[in-house]
Amino acid sequence: MFNYNTLKKILFSFEPETAHHIGEFGLKLLGNCKIAKSYMEKKNYISNPKLTQEIFGVRFENPVGLAAGFDKNATMIKAMKSLGYGFTEIGTMTPMPQDGNPKPRMFRYPEQKSVQNAMGFNNLGAHTVLKNLKKVYPFSIPIGANIGKNKTTPEEFALSDYKTLIKKFEAFSDYLVINISSPNTPNLRDLQNEKFITELFVMAKALTNKPILLKIAPDMEANIAIDLCKSAINAGADGIIATNTTIDYSLVPNCQNFGGLSGACLTEKSGSLFKELAQELFGKTVLISVGGIYNGKEAYERIKNGASLVQAYSGLVFEGPSMVRKINEEILELLAKDGFENIQQAIGANLK
Crossing angle for the helix pair 158-169 and 126-134, to the nearest 10 degrees: 20
Q: Does residue 296 sit in helix, strand or coil?
A: helix
- Is 308 labeled as catalytic in the residue annotation? no
Distance of CA 243 to the CA centre of its chain: 9
What Å distances lie between residue 130 and 51, 156, 160, 238, 270, CA to CA? 30, 26, 18, 23, 31
**Integer Cα distance of 25 and 19 in angstroms:** 10
Dihedral sign for Cα 164, 165, 170, 171, please: positive
Catalytic residue among 182, 231, 262, 314: 182
DSSP, residue by residue, 193-225? SHHHHHHHHHHHHHH-SS-EEEEE-TTS-HHHH
Which class for 130: exposed (0-12), middle (13-18), buried (19 or more C-beta within 10 A)? buried
| 212: β partners | 176
CB 81 within 8 A of CB 140: yes
Count, residues in the chain: 352
The reply to whether omega before 138 is within 30° of 0 (cis) is yes
Catalytically annotated residues = 182
